[in-house]
Structure 1
Amino acid sequence: MVLLSHPTGNEFVRATLDAFDRAGILCEFWTTLSWNSKSPINLALPRRLREILQRRSFPATIRARTRTIPRREMIRLFAGTIGLASKHETGAFSIDAVLRELDRKVADRLRKIEPHAAVDSIYAYEDGALESFRAARDGGFKRIYDLPIAYWQISRRLLLEEAERYPDWEPTLGATRDSDEKLSRKTQELQLANLVVCPSRFVLESLPPEACAQKQCLIAPFGSPDVDLRNAAGRSSGRLRVLFAGALTQRKGLADLFAAMRLVNSKQIELVVMGSLLCPLSWYRDRLADFIYEPPRPHGEVLRLMQSCDVFILPSIVEGRALVQQEAMACGIPVIATKNAGADDVIVDGETGFLVPIRSPEALA
């Protein structure tokens, strides 16, 4: 039986929980929030906060085995809705602080589990596994490590190079500012793991050779959504609509896409950029004035937006496997992406899309 820990319970975690539940091996799920989507309090909440909390609701079968540590995460989310950002990594209500608190609580729980109890494995994720894995090692539990993005040594090298290529985009990179302590935690997490789960070949190949030699490392690719195309949104213009979806960062190659649009310089192409702003919108407009910005939205609305576009582009520098490219393909639109987006084992080059090298606005154009 497995104890699974994750601070937010994103869609990939939900799929894992569902698989474990159907297999009858899920014992406990530890997270920060488990929201009741039918609670009357939803009506009194700001719309943005309500939408965030709705994504933290879980099926009843999962909810019955869920343990929560909500206070710090609730403050973090509320602060975000009113524009108050916590200091990167060291802030009391940063995502790193949330991760560390949950990790400590799970470690405490593992230390209290009696020998021969139902739980025999801990499944945890990067940045939130160190204390849990230490307790699991001491208690004789199997330690399963989910690495959702390329290992930090490769990621950091690539992103530091991006900071040199585009110094003004460095604030959007995030990981370039990680402390030595945080990087040490990542190293120790991998060292303590028995099994490493990667979403793509790119992530697997980013692991240190000694980890691959000493541990079981495998690829567990994401599934694709079942999209109903019968009521697909129609195109709103005669121009070629190009979609980028994801956080507006150079980690996802947005500066290269902007450079490609400047090279093309055609009124026949309409760039739609959807995702979370990491700088003010005016900052992005200073770098490319002519694009349509779409804010984040519920998943169903994302799919409808995709269906109104002609091509999806994701020239990522560092990813795990960007599910958004599979969602675009499920919507029937071709994808242009990099190997580093986890695309080389998804796209049939020249048939279902095109693989392009990283850092190549010319190839995108």
Structure 2
Amino acid sequence: MKIIVSHPNSNQFNRWALDGLLDRNMLQEFNTSLAAFPGSFLDKLSNVKTFSEIKRRSFVSNLQPFTKCSPWRETGRIVSGKFGLQSLVKHETGIFSVDSVYRDIDFKTKSRLKKAKLNGAKGVYAYEDGALNTFLEAKKLGLTCFYDLPIGYWKHARKLLEQEYERSPEWVPTLTGLQDSPTKLSKKDRELQLADKIFVASTFTKNSLVDFDGILNNVQVVPYGFPNPTTKRNYSNITRRNKLKLLFVGRLEQRKGIGDVVKVADALKNHVSLTIVGQKPTQDCEALNSAVKRHHWISSIPHAKVLELMKEHDVLLFPSLFEGFGMVITEAMSQGTPVITTERTAGPDLIEHGENGWLMKAGSTLSLKNCVEEILENKEIIAQVGKNALESAYNRPWKKYGEELAQAMRDHF
């Protein structure tokens, strides 16, 4: 039983999905934009600083025979970004926008389905915003449609985030993610309708589909895996005399709870220090502009440095208001850094409150403050909770995610 996979730019969870299918001899074909393999021209080009972004499109060599690329739109997007040609990458309408790249790979995958079926393909696995035309053609050919929804359902997002206009109006300018057109939102709904099976990475994402108007086919939760756990973590610097070192990592928008983080750090400034890592979504939010001046702000650093920074801090704060998963949770836990997060992330799927992390009520600054204060009163607990977080990381490596996903596809037939 073979599966065709489509993803325009790939990412960590897509790569491990491919790994799981490869291990079970279930991969028929992988359609993407750019792919660099060891020794290839793109691999060598990625060593040039100007084109270093290509390194993010590096794949293992055993995937090369299965990979079909359509690089031109994505190349145009990268080049346009380098030269500041914003009109070419404008949301939805730009010729080299992310949406344009997704449409291109969607149509390219659609065009390959007939041949793929003749070669033994039984199903296609595609991701949100890049599946519609592929699924329409797959239905005509009798292929099974597997769909990946990486973030919660858009109607549920709007319902929850609109509450911020009253709760935290000063942070509303950072809520830039509600800009999709009616046409794009309708397309998302059609993709969900066509799917024979929907994969999500958290129970929260699954529950968000309660706002979908209609009946959806089988929805299955397969949580993502953890990065390789650190073998070097020292908790000896966590003492009652030292300030509690808090860390926030992510885009600096209220969807991820940055306003709540800042309010708590300001209220407890005599007892905590706060490091913020992430880029501003806008320059027009005075609350954010002021906050990054008061606290230690790092706009951007390499991912490996982020992991090191996590290891140097006591607790990661991630009070997200709407998250499909929240990979910073697993990243921090893999470094032995316990996390405070909400029920609107993968937190409830990964964390037992007070054992390997802490869960708080989303949209409540008071809930976050109470949680931090409880830790301040008993700093000794950080080491044990951090070690338990590490144990959680050991028990669910990324490979397990790929294995479970591939098995779920096989079980569908």
Q: How does 1:104-123 map to 2 (within 5 A)?
A: 104-115=107-118, 117-123=119-125
Q: Secondary structure at the match of 2:293?
A: coil
Whether the 8 Å CA contact 1:123–1:146 is kept in 2: the answer is yes
Aligned to 1:18: 19
**Distance in 2, Cα, partners of 1:95 & 1:182:** 13
Paired residues, number: 360
Aligned to 2:312: 308
Aligned to 1:133: 135
Aligned to 1:73: 74
**Distance in 2, Cα, partners of 1:95 & 1:336:** 32
Moved more, 3-12 or 159-168: 159-168
Question: How far did residue 279 of structure 1 move?
Answer: 2.6
Question: How far did residue 362 of structure 1 move?
Answer: 1.8
Q: How does 1:243-282 map to 2 (within 5 A)?
A: 243-264=247-268, 266-280=269-283
**Distance in 1, Cα, partners of 2:81 & 2:113:** 32
Q: Pick from 17, 28, 48 the counterpart of residue 44 of structure 1.
A: 48
Moved more, 205-214 or 34-43: 205-214
Q: Pick from 170, 195, 198 the counterpart of residue 200 of structure 2.
A: 198
Change over 3 Å in CA distance of 1:241–1:96 after alignment to 2? same
Deviations 1:197-255 (A, max 9, x none): 01011011111388896511111011112223227699799432111111221111112
Residue 29 of structure 1 pairs with residue 30 of structure 2: yes
Q: Secondary structure at the match of 2:219?
A: strand
Report the aligned-residue RMSD: 2.6
The residue type paired with residue 8 of structure 1 is: N
Aligned to 1:219: 221
Deviations 1:319-339 (A, max 9, x none): 111121112112112110001
Change over 3 Å in CA distance of 1:260–1:174 after alignment to 2? same
Question: How far did residue 42 of structure 1 move?
Answer: 3.1
Which runs of 5 or more residues in structure 2 are unaligned?
Answer: 370-413
Deviations 1:26-76 (A, max 9, x none): 111111110246544334332xx40x2111010011122111111111221
Change over 3 Å in CA distance of 1:362–1:144 after alignment to 2? same
**Distance in 2, Cα, partners of 1:278 & 1:294:** 14
Question: How far did residue 301 of structure 1 move?
Answer: 2.2
Q: Pick from 331, 337, 340 the counterpart of residue 335 of structure 2.
A: 331
Q: Secondary structure at the match of 2:348?
A: coil
Q: Pick from 340, 347, 350 the counterpart of residue 346 of structure 1.
A: 350
Q: Secondary structure at the match of 2:324?
A: coil
Determine what percentage of the aligned residue pairs are the same residue. 36
Aligned to 2:373: none
Q: Pick from 189, 211, 229 the counterpart of residue 187 of structure 1.
A: 189
**Distance in 1, Cα, partners of 2:173 & 2:78:** 21
Whether the 8 Å CA contact 1:233–1:304 is kept in 2: the answer is no
Aligned to 1:174: 176
Change over 3 Å in CA distance of 1:214–1:89 after alignment to 2? closer
Aligned to 2:290: 286
Residue 93 of structure 1 pairs with residue 93 of structure 2: no
The residue type paired with residue 332 of structure 2 is: A
**Distance in 1, Cα, partners of 2:213 & 2:4:** 23
Which runs of 5 or more residues in structure 1 are unaligned?
Answer: none
The residue type paired with residue 9 of structure 1 is: S
